[in-house]
Each structure stands twice: as C-alpha cells, then as structure tokens.
Amino acid sequence: MAGFAFSWQIGLAVGVVVAVVVMSYRQTVYAYPSGGGDYEVAKINLGRYAGLTVASSLLVDYILTVAVSVSAGVINAKAMLPFVEGREAWTAVVVIVVLTIVNLRGVRESGRRSPSPPTCSWSR
C-alpha cells in the first residue's frame, strides 16, 4: 500500500515523458515530411553506424514483442484450452509460425484470404 503514496508523482513523471516523446516525434515529422523512419533519421543525422544500431535495436524490439505477447497469450489460453498444458512451448512456436506466414504474405493479401470478423446484432 505504500506504493500508492507515490502514484501521483509517478503519473506526473510518465506524463512528462509522454510529452517529451510527442514533441520529439513532432519535430521528426516536421524535419522529414516524406516519412523518414528511425533508421533514416539516425543515419542522416548521426552516421551509418548509428543507423545500423537503431535498425538492430528495432529488430530486437520486434522479436521480443512477439515473444512476450505470444507467451502471455499461450499461458492465458491454458485456462480455456486444457490440452495446451505441458505443450506451451510448441503451441507458442506454432502461433509464431502462423503469424510469420500471415505477415510474409502481406497485409492486403492476408486480409483477402481471412474471414471477415464476426458481427453481433443487439437489435431485436
């Protein structure tokens, strides 16, 4: 319960960080109106090696995001799908392979092949 005593300060600090990030992105968009990505911005301003460092860190970030998200999803899926128990790693690998195949096909092509999302009607 002691953590609640500092919650407003933590919230204020998070708000300041978000404001700084928003101002930084606004400056980047203004400086690169044609849409420079992080790699391009770092390469032009700081050099080739800085651009490669940014690109590498983005790849690691994307990989870790997928790993953490799929792991959390598989662990939560055990509640509804008891047969997943003991096969979490293989289930995660299968999910990642399916996501990889879908992404390699492209968003537009995958959208054509996948079924439309179900809709619910609350009217009588």
In tens, the pLDDT along 59-70 reads: 999 999 999 999
Distances (CA, A) of 68 to 45, 48, 71: 32, 30, 5
pLDDT at 1 exceeding the cut of 70: no
- Give the pLDDT confidence of 76-123 residue by residue, as tens digits: 998 899 899 999 999 999 999 998 888 887 767 666 666 665 555 555
Average pLDDT of the chain is 85
2 vs 89: which has the higher pLDDT = 89
User: pLDDT at position 5, please?
Assistant: 78
- pTM for this structure? 0.61
- Give the pLDDT confidence of 8-51 residue by residue, as tens digits: 899 999 999 999 999 988 988 888 887 778 888 889 889 999 99
